[in-house]
Amino acid sequence: MDSALSDPHNGSTEAGGPTNSTTRPPSTPEGIALAYGSLLLMALLPIFFGALRSVRCARGKNASDMPETITSRDAARFPIIASCTLLGLYLFFKIFSQEYINLLLSMYFFVLGILALSHTISPFMNKFFPATFPNRQYQLLFTQGSGENKEEIINYEFDTKDLVCLGLSSIVGVWYLLRKHWIANNLFGLAFSLNGVELLHLNNVSTGCILLGGLFIYDVFWVFGTNVMVTVAKSFEAPIKLVFPQDLLEKGLEANNFAMLGLGDVVIPGIFIALLLRFDISLKKNTHTYFYTSFAAYIFGLGLTIFIMHIFKHAQPALLYLVPACIGFPVLVALAKGEVTEMFSYEESNPKDPAAVTESKGTEASASKGLEKKEK
């Protein structure tokens, strides 16, 4: 899952182009507006709900619910690792048959997508189960060694409701595997994005600035400096991007002229926005100023990306616009409120610290109630 979510090499917004020599009729202004508006909405949903879920992200027994903390060293290495991965995929597509590579990738993301979608819909599905539903508890435990040297490798607890969610997600997985339909692709893409924002935690704001700054340079170089990113994004048949057809009004669900947004442009800013929500809660002022500021900044940055792309008719590195907005807006607010020191000194608690677990449970309810009141 992390490898699927931490690869922002598909992170450029671009107008969908034909994958064969057939000339497609130009999209209507209505179709283009619908496509980009839908992409914007699909990007906002996993960020908002993923940030909420990151606050109450379990720090307990289930390995699937343990947050993965990104340190400053990880953030500094990330653009280099992402560049090597991107270039490797580009060479693979140039040297080997694209059909066989995508077949292997489809099987890989088929499994990951089912698990991610099941984890995503589980909290919502629990509301639909009747009180009389026979819900049994299960545990999957793998250990290494014996006696005092025994070490847990996997300790995963689940129940019958989780198995039902897994079955429903498998139906979507089979649909994606057989048809590669854009709706199935988006369901998996949304699940990957939400899980990434929920489970990938930056340890502080400085680390977030390092990560976003490095990927800012990475995104600009690989989009404007070469054709590598655009080539990989168009060749890579996997749910690593959100897509929406510009010709939906003309062709319905069988439309195939897509606009696309890489998941990296959702997850990377999303984990920074989620960090600011947790910082808001740490201030204990019952406000979510920095979260809403960064969320508005994301809308502004992505909207500007779409506008520039539409004007110049060229794929755009979305992080070129998202990074200055998502960092700049909250910092300006912190300067105005005199809380810059508090912002950059804020440090995430150790997930294994019992005190952190207790504090997380206590702040979980207040975060949800506060955001619900704001929304009303």
Catalytic residue among 7, 65, 162, 265: 265
Task: State the Cα–Cα distance between residues 193 and 347, nearest whole angstrom.
Answer: 24
Q: Is 159 a catalytic residue?
A: no
Task: State the Cα–Cα distance between residues 200 and 75, nearest whole angstrom.
Answer: 12
Q: Is 219 a catalytic residue?
A: yes
Catalytic residue among 162, 219, 247, 280: 219
Q: Output b/e per residue, 137-158; b: 16+ Cβ within 10 A.
A: eeeeeeeeeeeeeeeeeeeebb
Asked if residue 123 lies in contact with residue 368, where contact means CB atoms within 8 angstroms, the answer is no
Q: What is the 3-state secondary structure (H, E, C) of 132-181?
A: CCCCCEEEEEEEECCHHHCEEEEEEEEEHHHHHHHHHHHHHHHHHHHHCC
- In the block, tokens 């088929």 appear at 110
φ/ψ of 13, rounded to 5, equals -90, 130
Strand partners, 152: 143
What is the widest separation between alpha-carbon atoms in the chain?
A: 69
Asked if residue 35 lies in contact with residue 259, where contact means CB atoms within 8 angstroms, the answer is yes
Asked if residue 63 lies in contact with residue 155, where contact means CB atoms within 8 angstroms, the answer is yes
- Give the number of C-alpha atoms closer than 13 A to the C-alpha of residue 169, restricted to the C-beta side: 27
Which SS3 state, helix, strand or coil, does residue 69 take? strand
Asked if residue 235 lies in contact with residue 91, where contact means CB atoms within 8 angstroms, the answer is no
List, by residue number, the catalytic residues.
Answer: 219, 265
